[in-house]
Amino acid sequence: MKDMVKSAYRQFLAGVEEKMKRLLALLMCMFLFIGHAGAERLPDDQLITYYDQAVFVGDSISELFRFYVNGVVRKEHPDYFTGVKFYAAHGYKLATAAAPRPSHTETNISYKGNAVSVRGLMERTQPGKVFILLGLGDRIGDNIEKGMEYVEAIVSTVAEVSPDTKVHFFSLTPIDANVEKKAPNRQSKWDAYNVALEAKCKELGVYYIEIAAPLKDEKGLLAQSLATEDGYHLNNDGNAIWVQMLLEFAQGQYDAGLWAPAGKE
């Protein structure tokens, strides 16, 4: 009899918990609606101009994003990402990006066919904005403190050699269940890195762009429908979400009065 009572009580609690979750979700939607009520939603073709003449720096994750932008997005929207330059290489590390000179032992990015450091790239290109996604090759979740030192070094370098450049860091994208099974707790380490990165960006006065959350499934891992076979990289559907997050970030900048497209100043 006691077991029956306990079982019924657990079911009751589970029902209450589920109702509370639904209520919280509803309240969040209401707050979001209230917060955006009256705000002007810019069309995508205006929002995307936030990224005109920008530079993207990254590893193989950014390489696949470049392929998606050039092979899919620009075919449908030739005027999207106007003048954007991608400087990405498979295996490029956050540690290498933070160094003052190109590495003699690690993968480098290149500029006009020559290996270049982030310092050298910023000196040569002087972009209005730079967007950085790195950390995969560093296994950065295992040494978050060192990762934050690298981030500080990059921000300091850009401020020194290209002071008008606005620095943006992307959150590290998630891994899928197959990778997590082979490397338990890796995702939780990457989540901790993203939390630290967001805080560091705020401290340094640069931008943090969250792209990991909308790529995750109910277990907090990269949804397999958005992943390539290796479980680390994004497929076209995943990269489409990345583009959408870029649009949302630009809208947020407009809403905050920090940026406006031509004709909206």
Residue 216 DSSP SS3:
strand
Give strand ranges (E) for the chain.
Answer: 55-58, 85-88, 109-111, 114-116, 129-133, 166-170, 207-209
| pLDDT of 18 | 41
Residue 173 has pLDDT above 70, yes or no: yes
Residue 185 has pLDDT above 50, yes or no: yes
DSSP 52: T
| pLDDT of 263 | 85
Residue 139 has pLDDT above 50, yes or no: yes
CA–CA separation, 253 and 265 (whole Å): 13
Residue 45 has pLDDT above 60, yes or no: yes
pLDDT band at 2 (very low <50, low <70, confident <90, very high): very low
Q: Domain 40-255, CATH 3.40.50.1110 — does that match?
A: yes
Listed residue (129, 91, 123) closest to 259, CA to CA? 129
CA–CA separation, 170 and 238 (whole Å): 15
Query: What dihedral angle (degrees, nearest 10) is formed by the CA atoms of 69, 70, 73, 79?
Result: 110
pLDDT band at 17 (very low <50, low <70, confident <90, very high): very low
Strand-by-strand arrangement of the 207-209 sheet: 85-88, 55-58, 129-133, 166-170, 207-209
Are 63 and 108 spatial neighbours (Cβ–Cβ below 8 Å)? Answer: no
Are 131 and 158 spatial neighbours (Cβ–Cβ below 8 Å)? Answer: no
Q: What residue has token string 């296994």? A: 139
pTM for the model stands at 0.85
The CB-side HSE value for 156 (13 A sphere, CA atoms) comes to: 9
Q: Look up residue 18 and give its two tokens.
A: 């589920």
